[in-house]
């Protein structure tokens, strides 16, 4: 990998890792946050409010996409990526410094809500911006592998967050964890964010955006141009990422609680399963991305979607068999299927857009999908399980999501190894069937 591409991968990936680290620690520390930011007496209500604040961040992401996407298409990718990591890390550190409900009353959860919204807003510019940045630095022949470092770094950040919280809980007494221990992971975002900001401030902008700037072909109104010239690719990204998000949040978020609450495994057993499943993803994602550069995006996307349709229900039956070994095996196979799809979807989505509107178009489609099918997935599958009394209900939701995404994949034209289009008129000629 050339030095400029390696530098771009490091700069883009670190912000995404910080984002997913933040996501993981909030989720794993939810019970401590509930105890510190809401009145005592009703633990369930406090926990639900904590998760409601967690979900609020997802609904801020499209707004971030609408703001940062066009900004990145107008002033450059590098500048916007520097701004979003600063906002994200600052909000995370501030959560770790917040006074509790016992200190300032109702202002505590309100401040928490505001900071989570700021995290979501900044995240709306992070994932799409990082993916676009890597796409525009990558060679045509290795673009899939290069872009997919975004997805891979997200899994790394999630795993680091999970391990950090688990170690703190193992090393600190329960009282210490409740008083100050829960703050430590949030405060770790300060050095992580500063390192990421330092790296991003030293990055150059992408060759493709620089070329547009020199020829004065940068879009004056990227949002309007994206919506008018690239509305179909935006819709395709939304459909493409439905099973990406549903699968991700089922496999790497929901199943942790499902193993403990529904299947009655211990927290240690659930953590072991989650760690192994995450490790499977870490091992598979990058080699599969490299494979997509050789055989194309569509074969892997179709294979991943079909595997979810065919295997989700049998794997949930295996999860419910009562055997820990069987449950872990099912969890790891689900992670492997998700890895097939994750390894290719980001590249396929980014490649649909011209340079003039790539940041705007991809960010809008991706963030609308995350808001609708990302943070809501654990709630929806929990509700479905409760309403039906059927522990395999989440599999049905996965299957429906996979069918919709499969239908979308079939409308895409193969884009692997093709040059990225610079302007929307060329994009219309090359990206649509």
Summary mean pLDDT of the chain: 89
Q: Note the pLDDT tens digit of each residue in 280-293.
A: 999 999 999 999 99
Distance of CA 376 to the CA centre of its chain: 13
Q: Note the pLDDT tens digit of each residue in 395-429.
A: 999 999 999 999 999 999 999 989 988 776 544 43
Is 267 domain-assigned?
Answer: yes
In this prediction, residue 425 carries a pLDDT of 57
Is 97 domain-assigned?
Answer: yes
Count up the domains in the chain and report the number: 1
Q: How far apart are CA 379 and CA 381, in angstroms?
A: 6
329 pLDDT more than 70: yes
Q: Note the pLDDT tens digit of each residue in 20-37.
A: 888 778 877 877 888 898
Positive or negative torsion for Cα 9, 119, 168, 50: negative
In this prediction, residue 427 carries a pLDDT of 40
Is 214 domain-assigned?
Answer: no
Segment 80-88 mean pLDDT: 91
Q: How far apart are CA 397 and CA 401, in angstroms?
A: 6
CA angle (346, 370, 137) in 5-degree steps: 25
In this prediction, residue 429 carries a pLDDT of 38
CATH of the domain at 44: 1.20.1250.20
Is 236 domain-assigned?
Answer: yes
Is 156 domain-assigned?
Answer: yes
Q: Note if the pTM is more than 0.85.
A: yes
391 pLDDT band, cuts 50/70/90, is very high
* Backbone angle region of 99, left / alpha / beta, with phi > 0 → left and psi within -120 to 50 → alpha: beta
254 pLDDT more than 90: no
Is 210 domain-assigned?
Answer: no
Domain of residue 40 covers 3-205+223-411
130 pLDDT more than 70: yes
Q: Note the pLDDT tens digit of each residue in 366-387.
A: 999 999 998 788 888 888 888 8
Is 391 domain-assigned?
Answer: yes
């Amino acid at each position: 990998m050339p030095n400029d591409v390696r530098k771009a991968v490091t700069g883009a990936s670190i912000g995404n890792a910080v984002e997913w680290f933040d996501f993981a620690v909030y989720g794993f520390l939810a019970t401590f946050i509930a105890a510190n930011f809401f009145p005592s007496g009703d633990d369930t209500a406090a926990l639900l409010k904590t998760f409601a604040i967690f979900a609020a961040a997802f609904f801020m992401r499209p707004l971030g996409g609408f703001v940062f996407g066009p900004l990145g298409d107008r002033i450059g990718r590098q500048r916007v990526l520097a701004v979003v990591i600063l906002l994200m890390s600052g909000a995370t550190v501030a959560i770790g410094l917040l006074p509790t409900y016992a200190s300032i009353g109702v202002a505590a959860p309100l401040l928490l809500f505001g900071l989570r919204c700021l995290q979501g807003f900044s995240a709306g510019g992070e994932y799409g911006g990082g993916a676009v940045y890597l796409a525009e630095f990558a060679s045509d022949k290795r673009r899939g592998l290069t872009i997919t470092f975004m997805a891979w770094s997200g899994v790394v950040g999630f795993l680091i967050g999970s391990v950090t919280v688990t170690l703190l809980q193992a090393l600190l007494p329960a009282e210490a964890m409740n008083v100050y221990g829960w703050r430590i992971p949030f405060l770790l975002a300060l050095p992580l964010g500063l390192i990421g900001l330092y790296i991003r401030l030293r990055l150059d902008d992408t060759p493709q955006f620089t070329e547009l700037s020199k020829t004065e072909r940068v879009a004056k109104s990227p949002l309007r141009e994206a919506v008018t010239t690239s509305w179909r690719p935006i819709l395709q990204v939304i459909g493409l990422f439905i099973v990406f998000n549903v699968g991700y949040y089922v496999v790497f978020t929901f199943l942790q609680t499902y193993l403990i609450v529904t299947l009655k495994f211990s927290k240690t057993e659930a953590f072991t399963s989650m760690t192994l499943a995450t490790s499977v993803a870490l091992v598979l994602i990058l080699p599969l991305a490299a494979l997509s550069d050789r055989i194309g995006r569509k074969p892997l996307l179709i294979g991943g979607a079909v595997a979810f349709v065919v295997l989700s229900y049998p794997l949930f039956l295996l999860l419910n068999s009562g055997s820990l070994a069987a449950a872990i095996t099912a969890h790891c196979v689900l992670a492997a299927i998700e890895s097939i799809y994750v390894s290719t979807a980001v590249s396929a989505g980014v490649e649909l857009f011209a340079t003039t509107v790539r940041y705007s178009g991809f960010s809008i489609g991706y963030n609308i999908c995350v808001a609708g099918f990302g943070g809501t997935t654990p709630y929806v599958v929990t509700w479905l399980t409760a309403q039906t009394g059927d522990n395999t209900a989440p599999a049905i939701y996965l299957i429906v999501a996979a069918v919709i995404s499969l239908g979308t994949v079939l409308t895409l034209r193969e884009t692997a190894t093709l040059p990225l289009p610079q302007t929307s008129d060329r994009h219309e000629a090359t990206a649509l069937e």
